Amino acid sequence: MPNAPDARIHPQLHINSYGNYLRRRFGIRVSKVNVDAGFTCPNRDGSKGTGGCIYCNNVSFSPKGTQAVVPLEEQMEAGMAYHRRRLVSNKFIIYFQKYTNTYGSIELLSDLYQRALHHPDVIGISVGTRPDSLSDEAIDLLTEIAQTKYVCLELGLQSMDDAILGRINRGHTLDDFIGTVNRAAGRNFDICAHLIHGFTGESSADFLKAAELMAGLPIDSIKLHQLHAVEGTVLAEQFRCGEFIPLTLEAYIATIADFLELLPPRIAIQRLYGSAPLEICIAPRWGLKNNQMWYAIVNELTRRGSWQGCRLPDEPSTLIVEHVRRVENAFLGGAGML
Protein backbone atom coordinates (compact mmCIF):
# COMPACT_ATOMS: atom_id res chain seq x y z
CA MET A 1 0.00 0.00 0.00
CA PRO A 2 1.63 3.30 -1.08
CA ASN A 3 0.09 5.61 1.55
CA ALA A 4 0.16 4.98 5.29
CA PRO A 5 -3.20 5.54 7.05
CA ASP A 6 -3.80 9.18 7.86
CA ALA A 7 -4.49 10.10 11.52
CA ARG A 8 -8.11 10.81 10.50
CA ILE A 9 -8.64 7.20 9.44
CA HIS A 10 -10.34 5.26 12.22
CA PRO A 11 -8.24 2.15 12.93
CA GLN A 12 -11.25 -0.19 13.09
CA LEU A 13 -13.44 1.46 10.46
CA HIS A 14 -10.63 2.08 7.95
CA ILE A 15 -12.31 5.34 6.91
CA ASN A 16 -12.65 8.92 8.08
CA SER A 17 -16.24 8.59 9.26
CA TYR A 18 -18.36 11.71 9.61
CA GLY A 19 -19.31 10.69 13.16
CA ASN A 20 -15.66 10.74 14.13
CA TYR A 21 -15.10 13.97 12.22
CA LEU A 22 -17.85 15.62 14.31
CA ARG A 23 -16.45 14.15 17.50
CA ARG A 24 -12.98 15.52 16.69
CA ARG A 25 -14.44 18.91 15.82
CA PHE A 26 -16.86 19.30 18.75
CA GLY A 27 -15.38 16.92 21.33
CA ILE A 28 -18.74 15.20 21.92
CA ARG A 29 -21.21 12.97 20.11
CA VAL A 30 -23.39 14.99 17.72
CA SER A 31 -26.46 13.61 15.94
CA LYS A 32 -28.28 14.82 12.84
CA VAL A 33 -32.01 15.36 13.14
CA ASN A 34 -33.98 15.27 9.87
CA VAL A 35 -36.71 17.82 9.30
CA ASP A 36 -39.12 18.50 6.50
CA ALA A 37 -39.42 22.27 6.14
CA GLY A 38 -42.12 22.09 3.48
CA PHE A 39 -39.99 22.92 0.45
CA THR A 40 -40.72 21.66 -3.03
CA CYS A 41 -38.27 21.02 -5.88
CA PRO A 42 -37.67 22.99 -9.10
CA ASN A 43 -37.28 19.68 -10.92
CA ARG A 44 -40.86 18.84 -10.02
CA ASP A 45 -42.73 22.12 -10.11
CA GLY A 46 -41.79 23.02 -13.69
CA SER A 47 -39.25 25.77 -13.11
CA LYS A 48 -36.36 23.41 -13.98
CA GLY A 49 -38.28 20.36 -15.01
CA THR A 50 -41.28 18.19 -14.33
CA GLY A 51 -41.63 14.67 -13.03
CA GLY A 52 -38.45 14.83 -10.96
CA CYS A 53 -35.49 12.47 -11.01
CA ILE A 54 -36.54 8.99 -12.11
CA TYR A 55 -35.74 7.50 -8.69
CA CYS A 56 -37.35 10.25 -6.62
CA ASN A 57 -40.05 9.42 -4.17
CA ASN A 58 -39.39 11.66 -1.23
CA VAL A 59 -41.07 9.29 1.21
CA SER A 60 -37.93 7.19 0.92
CA PHE A 61 -35.74 10.07 2.11
CA SER A 62 -37.35 10.64 5.45
CA PRO A 63 -37.91 8.54 8.51
CA LYS A 64 -41.50 8.29 9.64
CA GLY A 65 -42.78 11.31 11.45
CA THR A 66 -41.17 14.14 9.50
CA GLN A 67 -44.22 15.48 7.72
CA ALA A 68 -44.32 19.02 6.34
CA VAL A 69 -47.50 19.78 8.21
CA VAL A 70 -45.78 19.30 11.57
CA PRO A 71 -44.21 22.57 12.79
CA LEU A 72 -40.43 22.65 12.55
CA GLU A 73 -39.95 22.97 16.31
CA GLU A 74 -42.11 19.90 16.96
CA GLN A 75 -40.19 17.85 14.43
CA MET A 76 -36.94 18.93 16.05
CA GLU A 77 -38.12 18.02 19.56
CA ALA A 78 -39.27 14.58 18.43
CA GLY A 79 -36.03 13.93 16.54
CA MET A 80 -33.82 15.13 19.38
CA ALA A 81 -35.76 13.02 21.91
CA TYR A 82 -35.23 9.96 19.70
CA HIS A 83 -31.47 10.56 19.43
CA ARG A 84 -31.14 11.35 23.14
CA ARG A 85 -32.80 8.02 23.93
CA ARG A 86 -31.13 5.82 21.31
CA LEU A 87 -27.67 7.34 20.99
CA VAL A 88 -27.28 9.38 24.17
CA SER A 89 -26.59 12.49 22.05
CA ASN A 90 -27.07 15.91 23.58
CA LYS A 91 -26.04 18.17 20.72
CA PHE A 92 -27.64 18.23 17.30
CA ILE A 93 -27.34 19.34 13.70
CA ILE A 94 -30.72 20.02 12.12
CA TYR A 95 -30.79 18.47 8.68
CA PHE A 96 -33.02 20.18 6.12
CA GLN A 97 -33.35 17.10 3.97
CA LYS A 98 -36.52 16.75 1.98
CA TYR A 99 -36.70 18.24 -1.53
CA THR A 100 -34.63 21.39 -2.29
CA ASN A 101 -33.91 23.31 0.89
CA THR A 102 -32.60 26.52 -0.66
CA TYR A 103 -35.55 26.86 -3.04
CA GLY A 104 -37.36 29.82 -1.52
CA SER A 105 -37.05 33.52 -0.77
CA ILE A 106 -34.07 34.59 1.31
CA GLU A 107 -36.50 35.70 4.05
CA LEU A 108 -38.02 32.22 4.20
CA LEU A 109 -34.61 30.52 4.28
CA SER A 110 -33.36 32.85 7.00
CA ASP A 111 -36.47 32.30 9.11
CA LEU A 112 -36.28 28.50 8.88
CA TYR A 113 -32.55 28.21 9.51
CA GLN A 114 -32.64 30.68 12.43
CA ARG A 115 -35.59 28.91 14.02
CA ALA A 116 -33.64 25.66 13.89
CA LEU A 117 -30.57 27.31 15.39
CA HIS A 118 -32.57 28.97 18.15
CA HIS A 119 -32.67 25.75 20.20
CA PRO A 120 -29.84 25.73 22.78
CA ASP A 121 -28.83 22.14 21.94
CA VAL A 122 -28.55 22.80 18.21
CA ILE A 123 -24.98 23.48 17.12
CA GLY A 124 -25.59 23.78 13.41
CA ILE A 125 -27.56 23.03 10.28
CA SER A 126 -27.13 20.83 7.25
CA VAL A 127 -28.90 21.99 4.10
CA GLY A 128 -29.58 19.62 1.19
CA THR A 129 -30.05 21.18 -2.22
CA ARG A 130 -29.48 20.94 -5.98
CA PRO A 131 -26.43 22.51 -7.64
CA ASP A 132 -28.67 24.69 -9.81
CA SER A 133 -30.74 26.06 -6.92
CA LEU A 134 -28.30 27.98 -4.77
CA SER A 135 -28.41 31.75 -5.19
CA ASP A 136 -25.56 34.04 -4.22
CA GLU A 137 -27.85 35.44 -1.48
CA ALA A 138 -28.34 31.95 -0.04
CA ILE A 139 -24.57 31.40 -0.05
CA ASP A 140 -24.12 34.72 1.78
CA LEU A 141 -26.75 33.70 4.33
CA LEU A 142 -25.01 30.38 5.01
CA THR A 143 -21.67 32.21 5.22
CA GLU A 144 -23.07 34.56 7.85
CA ILE A 145 -24.53 31.68 9.88
CA ALA A 146 -21.22 29.80 9.64
CA GLN A 147 -19.50 32.61 11.54
CA THR A 148 -21.06 31.31 14.76
CA LYS A 149 -22.61 27.90 13.98
CA TYR A 150 -21.71 24.75 12.10
CA VAL A 151 -23.06 24.69 8.52
CA CYS A 152 -22.91 21.89 5.99
CA LEU A 153 -24.17 22.42 2.44
CA GLU A 154 -25.19 19.13 0.82
CA LEU A 155 -25.11 19.16 -2.97
CA GLY A 156 -26.54 16.33 -5.06
CA LEU A 157 -24.44 15.41 -8.07
CA GLN A 158 -25.46 11.72 -8.25
CA SER A 159 -23.48 11.05 -11.46
CA MET A 160 -20.62 12.90 -13.15
CA ASP A 161 -21.78 11.64 -16.54
CA ASP A 162 -24.00 14.21 -18.27
CA ALA A 163 -25.57 11.50 -20.43
CA ILE A 164 -26.70 9.67 -17.29
CA LEU A 165 -27.88 12.93 -15.69
CA GLY A 166 -30.00 13.47 -18.81
CA ARG A 167 -31.43 9.93 -18.77
CA ILE A 168 -32.42 10.17 -15.10
CA ASN A 169 -34.07 13.56 -15.66
CA ARG A 170 -31.79 15.28 -13.16
CA GLY A 171 -32.12 18.64 -14.87
CA HIS A 172 -28.55 19.82 -14.23
CA THR A 173 -25.07 19.04 -15.49
CA LEU A 174 -21.68 18.20 -14.04
CA ASP A 175 -20.57 21.76 -14.81
CA ASP A 176 -23.47 23.11 -12.73
CA PHE A 177 -22.15 21.08 -9.81
CA ILE A 178 -18.51 22.14 -10.23
CA GLY A 179 -19.51 25.78 -10.66
CA THR A 180 -21.63 25.75 -7.51
CA VAL A 181 -18.96 23.98 -5.45
CA ASN A 182 -16.52 26.68 -6.50
CA ARG A 183 -18.97 29.48 -5.66
CA ALA A 184 -19.59 27.98 -2.20
CA ALA A 185 -15.99 27.06 -1.40
CA GLY A 186 -13.83 29.06 1.02
CA ARG A 187 -16.86 30.37 2.97
CA ASN A 188 -16.05 28.60 6.23
CA PHE A 189 -18.81 26.04 5.85
CA ASP A 190 -18.56 22.38 4.88
CA ILE A 191 -19.58 21.06 1.49
CA CYS A 192 -20.91 17.51 1.17
CA ALA A 193 -21.43 15.76 -2.19
CA HIS A 194 -24.03 13.05 -2.91
CA LEU A 195 -23.27 10.28 -5.39
CA ILE A 196 -25.30 7.26 -6.49
CA HIS A 197 -23.84 4.06 -7.96
CA GLY A 198 -25.77 1.66 -10.14
CA PHE A 199 -27.21 3.70 -13.01
CA THR A 200 -27.93 1.82 -16.21
CA GLY A 201 -24.96 2.17 -18.53
CA GLU A 202 -22.50 2.97 -15.74
CA SER A 203 -19.63 0.57 -15.09
CA SER A 204 -17.70 0.29 -11.87
CA ALA A 205 -14.75 2.00 -13.60
CA ASP A 206 -17.03 4.89 -14.62
CA PHE A 207 -18.16 5.37 -11.03
CA LEU A 208 -14.60 5.31 -9.72
CA LYS A 209 -13.77 8.38 -11.82
CA ALA A 210 -16.00 10.32 -9.41
CA ALA A 211 -13.47 9.61 -6.63
CA GLU A 212 -10.87 11.47 -8.70
CA LEU A 213 -13.32 14.31 -9.24
CA MET A 214 -14.02 14.58 -5.51
CA ALA A 215 -10.27 14.58 -4.83
CA GLY A 216 -9.91 17.56 -7.15
CA LEU A 217 -12.68 19.65 -5.59
CA PRO A 218 -12.97 21.43 -2.21
CA ILE A 219 -15.37 18.79 -0.87
CA ASP A 220 -15.37 18.08 2.89
CA SER A 221 -17.64 15.06 3.10
CA ILE A 222 -19.51 12.63 0.91
CA LYS A 223 -22.63 10.47 0.86
CA LEU A 224 -22.65 7.31 -1.26
CA HIS A 225 -25.84 5.46 -2.16
CA GLN A 226 -26.79 2.44 -4.23
CA LEU A 227 -29.46 3.14 -6.83
CA HIS A 228 -32.66 1.57 -5.60
CA ALA A 229 -36.13 1.60 -7.04
CA VAL A 230 -38.96 2.59 -4.74
CA GLU A 231 -42.69 2.39 -5.35
CA GLY A 232 -44.24 5.20 -7.33
CA THR A 233 -41.18 6.09 -9.41
CA VAL A 234 -40.21 5.82 -13.06
CA LEU A 235 -37.30 3.65 -11.96
CA ALA A 236 -39.70 1.14 -10.41
CA GLU A 237 -41.47 0.84 -13.77
CA GLN A 238 -38.11 0.41 -15.50
CA PHE A 239 -37.27 -2.38 -13.07
CA ARG A 240 -40.58 -4.12 -13.72
CA CYS A 241 -40.04 -4.13 -17.46
CA GLY A 242 -36.41 -5.21 -17.19
CA GLU A 243 -34.82 -1.89 -18.15
CA PHE A 244 -33.22 -1.37 -14.75
CA ILE A 245 -31.11 -4.21 -13.43
CA PRO A 246 -29.95 -3.47 -9.88
CA LEU A 247 -26.41 -4.10 -8.70
CA THR A 248 -25.70 -7.17 -6.64
CA LEU A 249 -24.65 -6.57 -3.05
CA GLU A 250 -21.23 -8.04 -3.80
CA ALA A 251 -20.66 -5.72 -6.78
CA TYR A 252 -21.74 -2.67 -4.77
CA ILE A 253 -19.47 -3.50 -1.84
CA ALA A 254 -16.47 -4.12 -4.11
CA THR A 255 -16.91 -0.84 -6.00
CA ILE A 256 -17.48 1.24 -2.86
CA ALA A 257 -14.37 -0.26 -1.26
CA ASP A 258 -12.42 0.60 -4.44
CA PHE A 259 -13.90 4.11 -4.36
CA LEU A 260 -12.86 4.64 -0.75
CA GLU A 261 -9.32 3.51 -1.49
CA LEU A 262 -9.12 6.29 -4.10
CA LEU A 263 -10.68 8.99 -1.91
CA PRO A 264 -8.52 11.47 0.05
CA PRO A 265 -8.64 10.92 3.85
CA ARG A 266 -9.64 14.57 4.35
CA ILE A 267 -13.13 13.78 2.94
CA ALA A 268 -15.37 12.49 5.75
CA ILE A 269 -17.79 9.68 4.94
CA GLN A 270 -21.38 10.53 5.86
CA ARG A 271 -23.07 7.55 4.21
CA LEU A 272 -21.98 4.33 2.54
CA TYR A 273 -25.40 3.13 1.31
CA GLY A 274 -28.96 4.33 0.92
CA SER A 275 -31.95 2.99 2.80
CA ALA A 276 -35.65 3.18 2.04
CA PRO A 277 -38.65 1.94 4.02
CA LEU A 278 -39.06 -1.78 3.25
CA GLU A 279 -42.73 -1.37 2.39
CA ILE A 280 -41.88 0.77 -0.65
CA CYS A 281 -38.41 -0.53 -1.58
CA ILE A 282 -38.73 -2.68 -4.69
CA ALA A 283 -35.15 -3.39 -5.76
CA PRO A 284 -32.50 -4.21 -4.85
CA ARG A 285 -33.57 -5.90 -1.61
CA TRP A 286 -30.35 -7.13 -0.12
CA GLY A 287 -31.90 -8.06 3.22
CA LEU A 288 -29.32 -6.26 5.35
CA LYS A 289 -30.02 -3.81 8.14
CA ASN A 290 -28.30 -0.42 8.11
CA ASN A 291 -25.46 -1.38 10.44
CA GLN A 292 -24.95 -4.63 8.51
CA MET A 293 -24.56 -2.64 5.26
CA TRP A 294 -22.08 -0.31 6.91
CA TYR A 295 -20.01 -3.18 8.30
CA ALA A 296 -20.18 -5.18 5.06
CA ILE A 297 -18.12 -2.38 3.46
CA VAL A 298 -15.87 -1.86 6.48
CA ASN A 299 -15.26 -5.63 6.58
CA GLU A 300 -14.31 -5.61 2.91
CA LEU A 301 -11.64 -2.96 3.60
CA THR A 302 -10.47 -5.02 6.59
CA ARG A 303 -10.31 -8.18 4.46
CA ARG A 304 -8.23 -6.33 1.87
CA GLY A 305 -6.00 -4.76 4.52
CA SER A 306 -6.79 -1.40 2.91
CA TRP A 307 -8.21 1.95 3.99
CA GLN A 308 -9.61 5.22 2.66
CA GLY A 309 -6.99 6.88 0.50
CA CYS A 310 -4.54 4.00 0.40
CA ARG A 311 -4.53 4.03 -3.42
CA LEU A 312 -4.75 7.80 -3.81
CA PRO A 313 -2.82 8.71 -6.96
CA ASP A 314 0.32 10.83 -6.48
CA GLU A 315 -0.93 13.26 -9.10
CA PRO A 316 -4.57 14.26 -9.67
CA SER A 317 -6.07 13.18 -12.99
CA THR A 318 -5.12 15.68 -15.71
CA LEU A 319 -8.50 15.32 -17.37
CA ILE A 320 -10.33 16.15 -14.15
CA VAL A 321 -8.02 19.08 -13.32
CA GLU A 322 -8.53 20.53 -16.80
CA HIS A 323 -12.29 20.10 -16.61
CA VAL A 324 -12.51 21.82 -13.22
CA ARG A 325 -10.28 24.65 -14.45
CA ARG A 326 -12.43 25.12 -17.56
CA VAL A 327 -15.56 25.52 -15.45
CA GLU A 328 -13.77 27.91 -13.06
CA ASN A 329 -12.60 30.04 -15.98
CA ALA A 330 -16.08 30.11 -17.50
CA PHE A 331 -17.44 31.26 -14.14
CA LEU A 332 -14.75 33.91 -13.63
CA GLY A 333 -15.25 35.03 -17.21
CA GLY A 334 -18.80 36.07 -16.41
CA ALA A 335 -20.80 33.00 -17.36
CA GLY A 336 -23.13 33.93 -14.51
CA MET A 337 -24.70 31.58 -12.04
CA LEU A 338 -24.05 27.96 -13.01
Q: Give residues in contact with ligand SF4 (CB under 6 A).
A: 41, 43-44, 52-53, 56, 58, 99-100, 130
Closest CA to 301 of 28, 1, 74: 1
Q: How far is the CB of 8 from ligand SF4 (least distance, A)?
A: 30
User: What is the spatial distance between Cα 237 and Cα 221, in angstroms, rounded to a whole number?
Assistant: 32
Q: How far is the CB of 132 from ligand SF4 (least distance, A)?
A: 9
> What backbone torsions phi and psi does residue 81 show, to the nearest 5 degrees?
-60, -40
The Cα-based distances of 127 to 9, 120, 190, 196, 327 in angstroms read 26, 19, 10, 18, 24
Residue closer to ligand SF4 (CB basis): 44 or 223 = 44
User: What is the spatial distance between Cα 331 and Cα 146, in angstroms, rounded to a whole number?
Assistant: 24
User: What is the spatial distance between Cα 336 and Cα 138, in angstroms, rounded to a whole number?
Assistant: 16
Residue closer to ligand SF4 (CB basis): 50 or 105 = 50
> What backbone torsions phi and psi does residue 165 show, to the nearest 5 degrees?
-55, -35
Residue closer to ligand SF4 (CB basis): 53 or 320 = 53
Amino acid at 1: M
Residue closer to ligand SF4 (CB basis): 99 or 150 = 99
Q: How far is the CB of 170 from ligand SF4 (least distance, A)?
A: 7
Residue closer to ligand SF4 (CB basis): 134 or 215 = 134
User: What is the spatial distance between Cα 127 and Cα 100, in angstroms, rounded to a whole number?
Assistant: 9
Q: How far is the CB of 295 from ligand SF4 (least distance, A)?
A: 27
Q: How far is the CB of 7 from ligand SF4 (least distance, A)?
A: 35
